[in-house]
Amino acid sequence: MPNSDNAHGVHNKITNIYSKNSDDSTTFSNVDEAKAHLLSAEALTVIDECATQVQWEAVSNTGFKVTMAFGTKGSGTAEADDWTAQFHSRKKALESRKGPFNISAVTFDHSADANDEATVTATGHTFIVGDRVKFTDLGGFSGTRQEGNINEDKSLKVGSVSGNNFVTGPTDATSGQPYTSGGTVQAIDDSWQRNASTWVASEDHLF
C-alpha cells in the first residue's frame, strides 16, 4: 500500500509505461502478472514506501502503466529526505547493472545432461544464481547463435556460482567452437527492472 503522508498534499506526479522485451513471448492476463514479471520485488517496495498515491493499469497484454505522486514530510524536512527525493535516490541505487566484467576463461559441458552449459571465469563478478547475463566480444566464436556463437545468446541464466566462476544454463554452443580470449559479461537486468523490460515516461497520467 502507498504511504499515507498526504497532510500537505501530493506533488511531483510521474507516469511510466513498462513493456516486455520484444523477444519475450510472455503475455499477462492482469496488471499484477505484468508487475511481477517486469519489476523486481525491491522496486515494488520502493514504490509502496515512497509514493503517496499510486495507480496501475494494464497495457494490452504487454506491460503496464503506473502513475505516482508524492507527499511531503512537511516544513523543516531536508529536500533529500522528502518522499520524491527518496524515491529517485532509491530507484537510482537499484538501477546499477552488474558488470561488465572481463572474462579469462570459458569452457563447455557438452554432455547430454548439461546441454552445453558454460563455465565462465570472470574475476570479481558479482552475479548470483538467477541473474540473466549476456556476453560481448568473446574470442573464438563466429557465425550466428544457431552456429554456436554465444556472443549471440541474448539471455543466459546463471545456474551456480563459485568464487570468480559461474555456470550458465543451456547455451547454443553445440558446434564445438572453443573460447580463445577476451570478452566481457554483464547482467541484462538491473535491480529495478526484470526480464529486460523497457520503459518510457508519459504525460498521460492515470489521475
Share of the chain above pLDDT 70, in %: 99
Please give the residue that has the higher pLDDT: either 5 or 30.
30
pLDDT value of position 69: 96
The CA distances from residue 118 to 15, 102, 123, 126, 155, in Å, are 40, 15, 16, 17, 13
The x, y and z cell numbers of residue 5, run together, are: 503522508
pLDDT at 2 over 80: no
User: Which ranges constitute the DSSP H helices of 39-121?
Assistant: 41-50, 83-94
pLDDT at 181 over 70: yes
CATH number assigned to the domain covering 10-97+193-202 = 3.30.70
Q: Is 5:71 a contact under the CB 8 Å cutoff?
A: yes
Is domain 101-187 classified as CATH 3.30.70? no
Kindly report the average pLDDT of the chain as a whole number: 91
105-128 pLDDT, tens digit each? 999 998 888 889 999 999 999 998
pLDDT at 80 over 90: no
Separation of CA 106 from chain center: 24
Least confident of 84-88, 128-132, 156-160: 128-132
According to CATH, where is 3.30.70 located in the chain?
Answer: 10-97+193-202
Separation of CA 76 from chain center: 36
pLDDT value of position 174: 77
According to CATH, where is 2.40.30 located in the chain?
Answer: 101-187
- Residue carrying the nine cell digits 512537511: 74
pLDDT at 205 over 90: yes
Best CA proximity match to 51, nearest among 29, 75, 67 = 67
pLDDT value of position 192: 95
Whether the upstream peptide bond of residue 178 has omega within 30° of 0, thus cis, is no
pLDDT value of position 107: 95
pLDDT at 1 over 60: no
pLDDT value of position 137: 96
29-68 pLDDT, tens digit each? 999 999 999 999 999 999 999 999 999 999 998 999 999 9
pLDDT value of position 127: 93
Whole-model pTM: value is: 0.70
